[in-house]
Amino acid sequence: MSDLISVITGFYNRGNLVRTSIGSLLRQTYTNLEIIAFDDCSTDHTYEELLKFQDPRLKVIRHSINIGFVNGLLNAIEQSSGDYIAIHGSGDISYPTRLEKQYRLLKDDRDLSAVGCNVFDCDMSPGGNIYRRTRVCDHPDTFQYSLINGRNCFTGGEVMIRKYHYDRVGGYRNAFYYSQDRDLWLRLIEISKLGFVDDVLYKRVFIPNSIRFNLDKILIQRRYSELARQCAEMRLDNQCDLVDLYGQDAINFLSKSKRLSEFYKNLFETYQYRDTALANRCYDLYINS
């Protein structure tokens, strides 16, 4: 009998995307699934749209208050039963063979703890323009270096994780408001391998209020990304990391960072002739980081 895969997906005010997103999971060629979808106290019709599905594999959780995506993930995974956890981003599309191909890869190589795939990005900007591009995974040999010094090897929503390894490293950590995925990959890669299916199996959908188009959220996300990196560097130096030391207050103990400084400097140069107030804000962050 095939192993059970627990698919975890969370929604907040994505009512118009629920039908296509959940529908893509119910049409997977791998059918031994439980799909746990949480509605994080949406104020639109997201919850009502989730209830329209009649498939017994779908379990819907509704939060009475907004607890945030990471806490929603932790709560849903705690209620899951599968030996494999597949994350599915809010409103995104998993192509029909995604779960089957990722499962086969994990099943065939016990040293792998998590696998991704190539991703098709579809951005719907606030101005109404649509941008499309394909994000191809780097070679696995570069994953650890990239996670610390460059881009995230995965986007977060397209990954399947072996539950054994997830539990072994302690899973997602609620000290992270963003970049919880980078933190998890960096801990997993210390005890196992990460891999990917070299096919486009997933479509990310960005709408105008996504983090991608919100500079305030981007700035916050970047700090949490730096937290994940500094934690990894501390562990590589045989130290307790910032989250182990300070828990949910860890973000307040970041060291000065050239990575953050360069990021703020680039933003300043981008906006200095377009938005003076924003440029000055980025410059202050650059000086202080």
Q: Give the pLDDT confidence score for residue 139 in this predicted structure.
A: 86
**Exposed, middle or buried: residue 87 (CB in 10 Å: 0-12, 13-18, 19+)?**
buried
Q: In this structure, what token pair is assigned to residue 216?
A: 């305030």
What distance in Å separates the CA atoms of residue 175 and residue 153, rounded to the nearest whole number?
A: 21
Sign of CA dihedral 225, 152, 24, 97: negative
Check whether residue 150 and residue 229 sit in a common domain: no
Check whether residue 241 and residue 196 sit in a common domain: no
Check whether residue 144 and residue 282 sit in a common domain: no
Where does a domain end: 210, 238, 258? 210
Check whether residue 244 and residue 259 sit in a common domain: yes
Sign of CA dihedral 202, 176, 113, 152: positive
CATH number for the domain spanning 70: value is 3.90.550.10
What distance in Å separates the CA atoms of residue 37 and residue 50, rounded to the nearest whole number?
A: 8
Check whether residue 64 and residue 200 sit in a common domain: yes
Check whether residue 31 and residue 113 sit in a common domain: yes
Check whether residue 115 and residue 138 sit in a common domain: yes
Residue 256 backbone zone (phi > 0: left; psi -120 to 50: alpha; other: beta): beta
Check whether residue 193 and residue 222 sit in a common domain: no
The 3-state secondary structure of 200-257, one letter per residue: EEEEEEECCCCHHHCHHHHHHHHHHHHHHHHHHHHHHCCCCCHHHHHHHHHHHHCCCC
Check whether residue 85 and residue 161 sit in a common domain: yes
Where does a domain end: 184, 210, 236? 210
**Terminal-residue alpha carbon distance, the chain:** 54
Domain of 205 in residue numbering reads as: 5-210
Check whether residue 281 and residue 230 sit in a common domain: yes
The per-residue pLDDT string of the chain (289 residues; one tens digit each, 9 = 90 and over) reads 589 999 999 999 999 999 999 999 999 999 999 999 999 999 999 999 999 999 999 999 999 999 999 999 999 999 999 999 999 999 999 999 999 999 999 999 999 999 999 999 887 655 555 667 898 988 888 999 999 998 899 998 999 999 999 999 999 999 999 999 999 999 999 999 999 999 999 999 877 555 555 778 888 999 999 999 999 999 999 999 999 999 999 999 999 988 988 888 888 888 777 777 777 887 787 787 7
Check whether residue 206 and residue 232 sit in a common domain: no
Where does a domain end: 149, 180, 210? 210
Check whether residue 139 and residue 86 sit in a common domain: yes
Domain count, the chain: 2
